Amino acid sequence: MDRMIRNFLDYLAIEKGLAHNTIISYRSDLCFYRDFCQKTKINPLAENGRNGVAAYLSRMKRDGLSAATAARRLSSLRTFYSFLINEEITVIDPTENMEVSKRTERLPRILSKIEVERLLDFPVLSTAIQQRDKAMLELLYATGARVSEIINLNQGSINLEEGYVRCIGKGSKERIIPIGPVAIFFVRTYLKKSRLELLGNRDTQLLFLNRYGKGISRQSFWKTIKKYALVNGIKKTITPHTLRHSFASHLLENGADLRSVQELLGHSDISTTQIYTHLTHNRLRKVYDKAHPRA
């Protein structure tokens, strides 16, 4: 089982070119299944493998895992067995026609426009770290990029004269995102002095650096966002995607079309973007009340 998983992960990395974090997620999901098979003495390649997958789904439900987590793990198993069939390791897909009970769609948490203003309010920008944090947060909200995309930006990825940034997203897909004058100003301010101060005598093309002149981890940036939210009195739970969700919702509230937002976010399927339309109900209600003759 371990060897099959390793070969599968190599396939995802080399043949499919999936992102490192995506491959880690696949590894985690498949290791849970491997451990379950070992404990229950189930052969994952046996002809009655469907019974094993069904038992695995039942175990996840008994363990209290959310429907979303169970659905993701089942999806990982589907991809894994598809690989095994293509490699002629097995002819049976035990996940075929298997379904997880329908999950309740959770709306993403967002910040209001006022809360975003408070999060981005830096009363003091006297240190290199503060100027870096300001530039990063402004750029994150200006682009709706993922945190992982922001921390992996190189200096050549951003064009301040033309006002755009080039992001490499999931599956190594590239997209060009425009940025506004506020983000441009603070990134340019950071580049003029603070980045040079953080860089010292080291050599890297990464745009945003930590105090040691190296790249910033995703966890470190998440802690940074949470720190400024707490300092500015924002009590909502902050996740690495909070500003990305807020970016999308605020664009739609202000009249942006769904296809454009899909392009900016880098979603391959517009159904992923449509979740944000639920967040604009209040705006639609106001438009209806104002415009409909019998409202």
Which residues are known to be catalytic? Answer: 146, 170, 241, 244, 267, 276
d(CA 122, CA 232): 9
The 164-168 sheet, strands edge to edge: 158-159, 164-168, 174-178
Amino acid at site 49: G
Helices (H) and strands (E) in the chain, counts: 14, 3
Two structure tokens written together for 124: 């003091």
CA–CA distances in Å: residue 100 to residues 54, 65, 119, 280: 10, 11, 38, 29
For every residue of 141-179, DSSP letters joined together read: HHH---HHHHHT-BGGGEETTTTEEEEE-GGG-EEEEE-
Q: What angle do CA 54, 58, 63 make, to 5 degrees?
A: 150
DSSP label of 194: I
d(CA 9, CA 24): 9
